[in-house]
Amino acid sequence: MTETQQALSDTDTSSFAKKIAALRMTVARHGEMDRSKWWNTKGLLSRVGELALSRGFPKSHVFARSRAAFAVASSRSEEVFNPPDSYTLWRLPVEIEDQLEDAWADWLGKPDEWMQLLREIEAEGGNELVTALTNLGLLSEQSAKRGRGLRRADDLQSVPIRLDGETSIEAIELLAVAHSCSEPGKLAVPFVRQEEFPQ
């Protein structure tokens, strides 16, 4: 059994999936047009987005907004840099993506904790991404330290991440925090080669 398969079969599978969703939410909000201008959504994960979508989706708007933001962020990332045989925060190994899909169904009945998370993400709006992720408890100390040391490639459109013994969740933390290498309005897409991702 690979490390990823083991992580997905553990009793804390739900917390594994929750952490990935929370990392995606934080980066997606940070990249919106009213923040870092990396993708073309504006306040979708803020109070503005809540007011706009809560009428049509009274209980599930937090998930509808998140899925829409993830889709836009993924599409924009692929436009900027789409490395072959690699993973990004928006395109993870299929078994992890399947786990996330299964988890959404369970979360639909419990929107309150996700609404609270979005409020906490919004409160971090004045902070840089590394600080926001750290304050939200989404980064290990090691990932935060490594994240601060990552740099864009010469093409200025990508952030290659070379793993050094990280677990799968630590690798995903790095994919999230490496977005901090981007500049406002200039997205650089973090990626890990498939052969390097923890198995």
pLDDT 10s digits, 87-131:
999 999 999 999 999 998 888 888 888 889 999 999 998 889 999
Our measurement of the distance from residue 191's CA atom to the centroid of its chain's CA atoms, rounded to an integer in Å, reads: 12
Tokens linked to 142: 């090691």
Cα-Cα end-to-end distance for the chain: 9
Could you tell me the sign of the dihedral formed by the alpha carbons of 163, 185, 85, 7, in that order? positive
In this prediction, residue 110 carries a pLDDT of 83
Alpha helices, DSSP H only, in the chain? Answer: 3-9, 13-30, 47-53, 61-80, 94-107, 111-123, 129-135, 141-149, 168-177
Neighbour count for residue 37 (Cβ, 10 Å): 16
Q: What are phi and psi of 159, to 5 degrees?
A: -130, 95
* CA atoms of 38 and 157, how far apart (whole Å): 12
140: tokens are 């290990």
The mean pLDDT value for 143-149 works out to: 93
Quick one: pLDDT at residue 49?
54
- Give pLDDT, residue 64: 84
pLDDT for 33-91, tens place per residue? 999 999 999 888 877 655 555 555 556 668 888 999 999 999 999 999 999 999 999 99
pLDDT at 156: 94
- For 2-49, how does the pLDDT look when each residue is reduced to its tens digit (9 = 90+)? 444 344 444 467 899 999 999 999 999 999 999 999 999 988 887 765
